[in-house]
Structure 1
């Protein structure tokens, strides 16, 4: 090759004669073309593999490569030194390829030859990587297409790629200890607060620029939430090259298929699941980035023992499958591979937290998602809307629909019943629902309404199959086994009965996986329901304890004994895995639930008696138990609901609605109340327990109050001891409380201290109302220390707590450092000018507080002046309320000067002060310049006509003010005239409370021109207003109450119902097109006036209400 290249070169440059060019064309064309092609191929090969060479090269491989290139003179000594001088390995490899390709074909050929002849793992990766990855992606794509689930992917707006995972700090207590449905019920399917969202594309990426990518990622979610759907979507997206391009190989394993393996090595396992990967050592090497997915760890037949598992670091060594999985997660095996584990929360809690780098949670359907899902899939004959209406009436079914798989079951079953066009009512309990579901599947595709299914058809194979499926489900449930092999099915007589369209294929899902074929029930709840049907039937004839499948037990005869036994086992199960099973078992004693299964279950004549027995038994359990209502106890109330024995449930719910629980909360009532906190519409937005609780009942209900979002505990006479309990509530990791009102209690400084400790750790509470307690300055200091650290609370109400100057100073210190607090109410706390000055100093630097309420204190002019100085520089405060603070003209002057500079304040309340004409004139000057202020309240001051006239002159030109309150200011006709003239040119004013004398109507966008006997404006004032309203189009409501039009010396009908005055009002109705409401309440209009009013209404098209 070298000699041929030299010959061609010499021939080209030295031997050719210029005028003989044509003589050499034919002779050289073949050889030159071949050399050129060879050179091009070498260069293309290097360029094609350059990225892989940089990606997979190691320091040792680079050393060997440089030695070879030096030996064949492809790299000089100086070039070698330059290469070694580069700091990063990546840069060194890049320099090698750059130098070699620049020298031409000989050097490029030398590099290519070295790589192709090398048997190192790096060289094999460089040569084969792209082809292996391409084939692997094609295989995975085919598998994904074959295993597409019926899930939300078919609803575009609920597509997995449009949703996000939730990044969580860890598992909550309820996730670690309770049944999936209990978790969903207690939290009403609400996600935890303040969680960061994480898109699937970010799953393996570091969260910050300085953090590392996670090695072990854990994704949790209840059964049926969509964990496998997420995994398949991720695999599909990666296989299509849309995400995680830096990952060379994704190896997804369904953990249930590992149950068929006893002993295996890591490399052999990869080859079993992915036979096309002929060299697993390359895939599992540290040179390329590999992701192992263990989907469904909760379905593993072995309990992963992270403490005692034998250590293994050799991927070629065969170990037991549980040791293999444990060592992979621990990082002993394949430490350079990323691992993604999905499982239900209960099992996830068994993995030591130190091994997991990132925990994410899959959110379920929100109510909006449920509605969207129904409208998309069940739009035929408006089924979606009908199902939604039914779910809203039965919250327990709505909450279950948080789980997408259960949402399918619920919706499909309800549509099946509605399509049948029978007189059957829609199911109200979960037991009824699943009974209809099984009945639907048993009919083997024969829709109701055409030809009724003969009962004897259901009495045959389907009844036997249901019994076998129930037995499989029951003993699987006891063993925490949720996936089954063909051998398991045969053992329970379910092998030849899975014919097309039979009950078996309706409730069992068959999955052909790479290693084996598995079966599972459509959802965990269906397994629990079928287990309950088996126990319901078997307990009537069993003579031994059914919970002992293969061992002898004491004789147990009769349904009632077996029923008691089931509840005993349920109450003793720490993880609550039998909770839903006993709900279904109880529900099957209701005739309404048994009716759809009449052809599948043998129904005895004594079912009614058994229902009465069960009701009495459950109510007896409600009375007993410990001092605290646990979720095990609350499950008893769920059972009463399934039994459709609802007297006690209805009684407590009515008391809750009426606020009459006080003195009635026995332990049984507390248990039922705990249940209502889960399912009652009364508790969906807020839980109002005002005037209902005491220390004992709070202690009893404490675990259930955790999951309320808005908790109202007002007027309960709580003292400091209760605050210790509530402090523990707010400190709990599971706390969901976002708003809490403790107003009108007797909380002192000790109680405040307990609350302050809780606020140091709480991460959910955003609003706290402590109005009318006895916190005092000392208690305020405790809370202030917590508020300096708390980064969640945005609103706190200290109204009427005697915090005084010392407390105000403590809160001022909070405002200096807290950057979350938005609203602070310290009304009626004996705060003087000193406290106001401290708060004002803090406001000069605080940029988060938007609402400050200082009403009914003792600020005086000095306090107002201090606040004015703050307003001159603070432009983030939006609302300042200074009602009843003895502010006179002096303080008003300072405030109005600040308003000329301030560009943030939109609401200012100065009612019930001592502001006179001078202060009003200064405000008028400020309103000429300030167009940010929207609401101004000057009620009950000393403005008189002169002051109001000044303000009226300002609002002619002001375009920001929309609400102005001027009642109780000794206003007479001249001021009213000035206001009327102002309204002629002002088009932004929406609310004007003018004269005083009575309460203004509580309506939005209100124009209130009410004037009392003391400030009668007379006929002339009415005329001025009516003239102004002819052209003003921004006002919405005119309230002409009786007192407004009453003159000291004239009868009412002489004022308004004379022709002229009524004509003004009628003219207004005809002209003004913006009015929505007109009231003549209390007005005795004459017949002619009424006729004129009627004529005006024939042309008016805007009036909506006439009183």
Structure 2
């Protein structure tokens, strides 16, 4: 149906934004309803312009008697009928869209000019940051800023930068930038999270605290690679306590790889130290300082690889990159060999815990970082420099295991001596916010020479602090409970001195009691002062401790626990019962490891097991070890004599401390603390005299200074000091220059001189009888003094 007629004069343009050279005239016989905005009119017969911003030079006249269906937008007409209003609304909407579209088109140039400025400014800022990262200018800040404010725009800018750098054949710059913003930063974040907190003594049950709040610097010295010490660790601590710092070259941990000589390069560092001396904590501090951007920022990657976790990969074949990826998943896709600028450090922590052969002589040569091979071949070639020769290597180990590394593979040997005397006091002051309590504990530890020497070991400081703090709290609680407020200020030295530990065995016995009491309170709600002993659990732990001590193992796995009758699925029961004594660790790699908090605790539990075994089975634990002892198995004295003999047979003294604990636990005064666990031995005094005499007989034989000194510590645990007092009398009278001493007396003299409170600034041999024997017997003393005449 024809709804109207329209006449057009000249030409008509209907595209928004076009230059129209004709005018449009619309005549309507009705009032205008819904006329699109942007149109003007005078009267219904007047001529109307289509777009206010169009240039119109001719007119288009439209005459309509009805609403025009399909009329192009931009036209106006007379008032439509009611039935035509919907069509006008559509025209109105279409007209608005076209008008907006024309505005957008007209403004497009300005829009893109602003857009260009914003994009260029953004990219310029990002490129400036990327340049500073590549120039190593405050890199930690820029990398952190990029990752914390990371968004799709920043990632797109990085993608563009990497794309065009590689198009320009600047692959090295592209790789460096990608490594810094992805692999290196992610690794640093992961290591910071892992290493920023520490739990003293335990890994799982304790309250962790920030490392920076409790860290105390350790005394580290530089040594010679050929000086590998195989003596028992406690003996080494006792000797180390006599060394003079002025005679030694001190090394700061953060400067391990800085050579004193300018022309020397240090690739491999071996750091040795006894158990609990602070090797792993030093590693933790080194890694944390790097991850936080404080030290050693010239190193691109640090990969800490604990042997205790790598043991679980013993039977696998894997490449070096596989090993890294398994321990550090955030490095997946990293190619360590794609550029030479990488400075990589591998930290192989705890060589003494390694159960691999470490066969440097027979292992094949391997240099491919991407091909799988046995873990032992992988590690020996990494240390030798066949595999990734540019990498730095830091190995930590207990002294006895340090000899596994060939001397020609080591560029620098260092030794962690633990705390010197000033650092011991600093530790206790950091540990206790109460200055009076800290001073009281320091004073008590200083009263016992053997305890103060043992405080060279940070773990022993922790044990001592735990025990003495608990004793103080218990005594003060009892005082308050008994309404003796006036006596509440009594100190460790003033009240019940016989209950305060003064020897090694007393300290460890108190430690065991307190830990079990705490666990009972925590898990069972018991608050009685008496200890409820779980004999079966302690017996199982003791068997594990003793069996592994004989094998020189300090890290145990599921098979080791099962061999001792411990259900691995209930291992947490043991760690719960003996909180802070036995611990369970789950490594980054799949698998669980177990260990005692410190070697000395393992030795103590092993000695306790020997007494329990005798109580239950009426025979010695040494029966299974050799048929030589099968007829000496029924009494306590037989057990102690056998233990003395076996300790003296040891090349490295690995049973020395075990023997001290074993002898100390035989005393009735110490057994009182273990009441309910150990049976009270009859004729205890007679047994004590017999074993004391047996030890003195051994001292008359030609023993090494190390073995004889340990026997004197054993006599000390048995409260017998007759030989020592005899020598002290001779010293005070000055009669040793002419006296003929027995081997036991020579040994006593060495012991007295080494454990003297006075430092040996100058040692005069002329005070003693001039002989070759004198020189040989006193050689251990000569080594520890500044000057000998």
- TM-score normalised to structure 2 length: 0.72
Q: Return the match for 2:258 from 205, 222, 241.
A: 205
2:83 corresponds to? none
Name the CA shift for 1:41/1:157 in 2 (closer, same or farther; >3 Å).
closer
Q: Quote the residue 1:481 is aligned against.
A: 553
Distance in 2 (CA, whole Å) between partners of 1:268 and 1:428 is 51
Counterpart for residue 717 of structure 2: 642
**Residues 188 and 292 of structure 2 are in contact (CA less than 8 Å); yes or no, is this contact kept in structure 1?**
yes
2:85 matched residue in structure 1: none
Q: How does 1:71-470 map to 2 (within 5 A)?
A: 112-113=163-164, 115=166, 123-145=174-196, 147-149=198-200, 159-160=215-216, 165-170=220-225, 172=227, 176-188=229-241, 190=243, 193-212=246-265, 214-262=266-314, 263=316, 264-282=318-336, 286-378=340-432, 380=434, 382-421=436-475, 423=496, 424-444=498-518, 452-454=528-530, 457-458=532-533, 461=534, 463-470=535-542
C-alpha spacing 1:369/1:147, structure 2 compared with 1 (3 Å):
closer
Unaligned stretches of 5+ residues in structure 1: 1-22, 56-107, 710-737, 742-1107
CA deviations over 1:308-340 (Å, ceiling 9, x no partner): 222211122322222222111111112121111
Give the secondary structure class of the aligned counterpart of 1:665.
coil
Shift of 1:401: 0.8
- Change in Cα spacing, 1:319 to 1:406, as seen in structure 2 (3 Å) is same
SS where residue 673 of structure 2 aligns?
helix
Measured against aligned partners, the alpha-carbon deviations of 1:583-625 in whole angstroms (never above 9, x if no partner) come to 1112222222222112222333243332222111101101112
Match status 1:507 vs 2:566: no
Shift of 1:113: 2.9
> How far does residue 535 in structure 1 lie from its aligned partner after superposition?
2.0
Secondary structure at 2:312 match in 1: coil
Give CA-to-partner distance per residue, 1:1040-1092, whole Å, 9 cap, x none: xxxxxxxxxxxxxxxxxxxxxxxxxxxxxxxxxxxxxxxxxxxxxxxxxxxxx
Please report how far the alpha carbon of residue 181 of structure 1 lies from its aligned counterpart in structure 2 after TM superposition: 1.0
Shift of 1:406: 0.7
When structure 1 is superposed on structure 2, of 221-230 and 498-507 the one drifting more is 498-507
Q: Does residue 608 of structure 1 match 2:685?
A: yes
Deviation at 1:373, TM superposition (A): 2.8
2:696 alignment partner in structure 1: 619
1:50-98 alpha-carbon deviations (Å, 9 max, x no partner): 577789xxxxxxxxxxxxxxxxxxxxxxxxxxxxxxxxxxxxxxxxxxx
- Asked whether the equivalents of residues 219 and 362 of structure 1 are also in contact (C-alpha less than 8 Å), the reply is yes
Distance 1:686 1:558, change over 3 A: farther
Q: What's the counterpart of residue 750 of structure 2?
A: 674
Partner of 2:78: none
1:533 aligned residue (593, 596, 608)? 608
- How far has the Cα of 1:116 moved from its partner? 6.6
8 Å contact 1:116–1:123 — kept in the other structure?
Answer: no
Unaligned runs of 5+ in 2: 1-103, 137-158, 203-207, 476-494
What is the RMSD computed on CA atoms of the aligned residues?
A: 3.7
Counterparts of 1:701-780 in structure 2 under 5 Å? 701-709=777-785, 738-741=786-789
- Kindly state the Cα deviation for residue 143 of structure 1 after the two structures are TM-superposed: 1.1
Q: Distance in 2 between matches of 1:319 and 1:551?
A: 40
How far apart are the structure 1 equivalents of 2:771 and 2:727?
A: 19
Q: Please state how far the C-alpha of 1:296 moved relative to its aligned partner.
A: 1.2
Equivalent-residue separation in structure 2 for 1:582 and 1:381 (angstroms): 37
> Does residue 655 of the first structure (1) align with residue 748 of the second (2)?
no
**In structure 2, do the counterparts of structure 1 residues 598 and 657 end up closer, same or farther at CA, with 3 Å as the change threshold?**
farther
Distance 1:344 1:452 in 2: 40
- Residues 1:575 and 2:652 aligned together: yes
Query: How much does 1:471 deviate?
Result: 1.2
The 2-side partners of 1:468 and 1:222 are apart by: 26
SS in 2 for 1:309: coil
Structure 2 residue aligned with 1:724:
none
CA deviations on 1:406-448 (whole Å, 9 max, x unpaired) are: 1121232233334333733322321122111111112135799
Tell me if structure 2 keeps the 8 A contact 1:166–1:361. yes
Q: Which moved more, 1:526-535 or 1:502-511?
A: 502-511
Cα distance in 2 between the residues matched to 1:524 and 1:385: 28
For the residue of structure 2 that corresponds to 1:252, the secondary structure is: strand
608 and 402 in structure 1: CA distance in 2 versus 1, 3 angstrom threshold: same
Q: Distance in 2 between matches of 1:520 and 1:507?
A: 9
Residues 303 and 346 of structure 2 are in contact (CA less than 8 Å); yes or no, is this contact kept in structure 1? Answer: yes
Q: CA deviation at 1:241?
A: 1.0
Q: Pick from 110, 118, 124 the counterpart of residue 29 of structure 1.
A: 110
Corresponding residue SS for 1:624: coil
Secondary structure at the counterpart of residue 483 of structure 1: coil
- In structure 1, the residue matched to 2:673 is 596
Q: Decide whether aligned partners of structure 1 residues 118 and 387 sit closer, same or farther in structure 2, where only a CA change above 3 A counts.
A: same
Q: Which has more radius of gyration?
A: 2
Question: 1:550 deviation in Å?
Answer: 8.4
Residue 654 of structure 1 deviates from its aligned partner by: 2.8
Q: CA deviation at 1:273?
A: 0.8
Question: What is the aligned residue count?
Answer: 629
1:911-945: per-residue Cα shift (whole Å, max 9, x none)?
A: xxxxxxxxxxxxxxxxxxxxxxxxxxxxxxxxxxx
Residue 565 of structure 1 aligns with which residue? 642
Closer/same/farther in 2, CA of residues 298 and 111 from structure 1, 3 Å limit? closer
Deviation at 1:275, TM superposition (A): 1.4
Give the superposition deviation at 1:36.
5.5
Would you say the 8 A contact 2:622–2:629 is kept in 1? no
CA contact (8 A) 1:218 1:342 kept: yes
Instruction: Calculate the TM-score normalised by the size of structure 1.
Output: 0.52
**Matches of 2:601 and 2:108, distance apart in 1:** 83
Of 743, 756, 767, which aligns to 1:691?
A: 767
